[in-house]
Structure 1
Amino acid sequence: MPEPQGPAFPFRVDPQTGGVAWSAGPEKVRQDLHVLLGTRLGERPMLREFGTRVHSLVHEPDDDVTADLLRKQAHEAVVRWERRIVVTRARLDRREGELRLVLEYVHSDRPAAGEMIVPLV
């Protein structure tokens, strides 16, 4: 499988070339996962089904049902849109009044692991 590559996120100009900055490999996958989990379902006009409902659950009760829904929404989005990784664990972390979604994953094509932390505000 070829190394994933594409425009870096967040979008920026490469100071050495003056062109669009590019990213590759596991860092590109991480950036794309960040875009997926940060996009609200329906937010992209040309691809309305891209994204998650995670942010719509932020103001729901802080209970086990909502926690399960958050994990499920994130996991389903990754399964559908980001096939370069496999989620091994999805959990919620509550620290200092902040709720964070933590996804642990492995890359599908290499023995590398990663973790994505999404603040839910």
Structure 2
Amino acid sequence: MTEPRGSAFPFRIDQRTGGVAMTEGPDKIRDDLRVLLGTRLGERPMLREFGTRINALVHEPDDDVTADLLRKQAHEAVVRWERRVIVTRATVDRSDGELRLVLGYVHSDRPVAAEMIIPLV
């Protein structure tokens, strides 16, 4: 199986080559997860179902209901749109007045485990 390869996120220019910065392998999958979780549902005109409603939770109270909605929406989006990973853990850390999604996953084609922490800003 070939390594996933594509433009880096956030988009930038490679200082060495002057071209578009590229990422591949586990870094590309991580970038794609960040894009998925940072995209508002309905934001992409040709792919309205891509993304999450996480951004709508920004002004909600810091309580168990909001934490559960955040966890559930992120988990469902990753399961639906990112088949290169298997979610092993989706929890919400509530500390310092912030909600943070902790997403643990393994790559579906190799034994590589990773974790992302996404703050709800």
Regarding TM over 0.5, the answer is yes
The whole-number CA distance in structure 2 between the counterparts of 1:58 and 1:18 is 37
The equivalent of 1:15 in structure 2 is: 15
The whole-number CA distance in structure 2 between the counterparts of 1:59 and 1:9 is 26
- In structure 2, list runs of 5 or more residues that go unmatched: none
The equivalent of 1:63 in structure 2 is: 63
Q: Does 1:85 align with 2:75?
A: no
Can you list the C-alpha shifts for 1:47-91, whole angstroms capped at 9, x where unaligned?
111100112123223332322221111011001111111110111
Relative to the length of structure 1, the TM-score reads 0.93
Relative to the length of structure 2, the TM-score reads 0.93
The whole-number CA distance in structure 2 between the counterparts of 1:87 and 1:6 is 22
The whole-number CA distance in structure 2 between the counterparts of 1:61 and 1:42 is 24
Code of the residue aligned with 1:106 in structure 2: it is: V
The whole-number CA distance in structure 1 between the counterparts of 2:97 and 2:60 is 15
Please state how far the C-alpha of 1:98 moved relative to its aligned partner. 1.5
The alignment of Structure 1 onto Structure 2 pairs a total of residues equal to 121
Give matches, 1:1-121, under 5 Å: 1-121=1-121
Range moving further from structure 2, 19-28 or 37-46? 37-46
The whole-number CA distance in structure 2 between the counterparts of 1:108 and 1:67 is 27
Aligned-residue sequence identity (percent) comes to 79
